[in-house]
Amino acid sequence: MTLFTVERANRTLPLVRKIVEDVVRQHRLWREKILELDLVASTARAGEPRERAEELERDALALAKEIDGFQQELAQLGIELKDRRLGLVDFPSEMNGRQILLCWRLGEPEIQFWHDVDAGYAGRQPLSPSLVG
């Protein structure tokens, strides 16, 4: 497993930001397709052609595969995608000999938070100046 320092994680952010922007955009489109598919399915009458529903299903599946590809790109970098909607990722790291996760969310300028491996987003804590240096 790759361990990231704050400096190294910040150096990867230009690439990570591009990938995560794609994830968030494609996830939004995927959700729209799923919502439209639900609507089409709920209003369809028996015997009506299913072309629109089938088209939406194909589109949603293609978007899901694309998002999975972006997630794989991040995984190959050693980064875990935590939330496709928010654009939230974790970078495995270490603090005082214990494993932690450096946490970054799309829209943040740099790595500013960390949390314990089992704490998740709700347990995010600001980085102390000693960790950043």
Report the distance separating Cα 17 and Cα 70, nearest Å.
Answer: 11
pLDDT in tens, 16-54: 999 999 999 999 999 999 999 998 888 877 656 578 889
Residue 116 has pLDDT above 70, yes or no: yes
Task: Mean pLDDT check: name the lowest of 5-9, 13-17, 40-44, 57-61.
Answer: 40-44
Q: Residue 133: what pLDDT?
A: 47
Residues 6+ apart with CB under 8 A from 38: none
Percent of the chain with pLDDT over 70: 92
Q: Residue 46: what pLDDT?
A: 61
